A = this chain, B = another copy of it.
């Protein structure tokens, strides 16, 4: 049960309806998800979050499915129930195959395992990972 009432379109203010309309148009869906209905309790947060999300998840140099898979990865480590379900559904809707989903989870689980080991041992960072400080001229080190 959410800590705030969900605001439905018919009960929403003009300010909220404007964002809901933008979401519905952008996604070509008849109604917004519960996430937005909860955020509608705070119109400024609703508006800012939608605008940021549109910008971040919009077209760019990473394809849409890759972005969804990254979203799933973060949501799993943060253990966000709603986000895991919504972004897993979204990734499947965008064409993620069962094989890709299986590999996605295997990578996430493996990363957890080596993260824990690196943190536990306090492994010193290899100098080649730091050479060049930055994008332009970094070395060719390979992780782990």
A-side residues, CB < 8 A to B, are 1-6, 27, 29, 33-36, 38-39, 41-42, 44-45, 48-49, 52-53, 55-57, 60-62, 66-93, 97-126, 128-130, 133-136, 138-144
Residues from chain B with a CB closer than 8 A to the CB of A1 are: 122, 124, 130, 133
B87→A143 contact, CB < 8 A: yes
Contacts of A71 in B (CB 8 A): 107, 111, 143
The copy count of this chain in the complex is: 6
Q: A82 near B29 (CB under 8 angstroms)?
A: no
Tell me how far the C-beta of A102 lies from the nearest C-beta in chain B, rounded to whole angstroms.
3
Q: Which residues of B contact A57 (CB under 8 A)?
A: 107, 110
| Contact of A123 (CB < 8 Å), options: B34, B56, B75, B136 | B34
Cβ of A140 and Cβ of B70 under 8 Å apart? no
Tell me how far the C-beta of A109 lies from the nearest C-beta in chain B, rounded to whole angstroms: 4
9 new A-B contacts at CB < 8 Å, known A33-B142, A61-B100, A93-B139: A1-B124, A2-B123, A45-B117, A49-B113, A62-B103, A73-B77, A78-B111, A81-B118, A105-B116
Cα-based distance from A136 to B42 in the complex (angstroms): 14
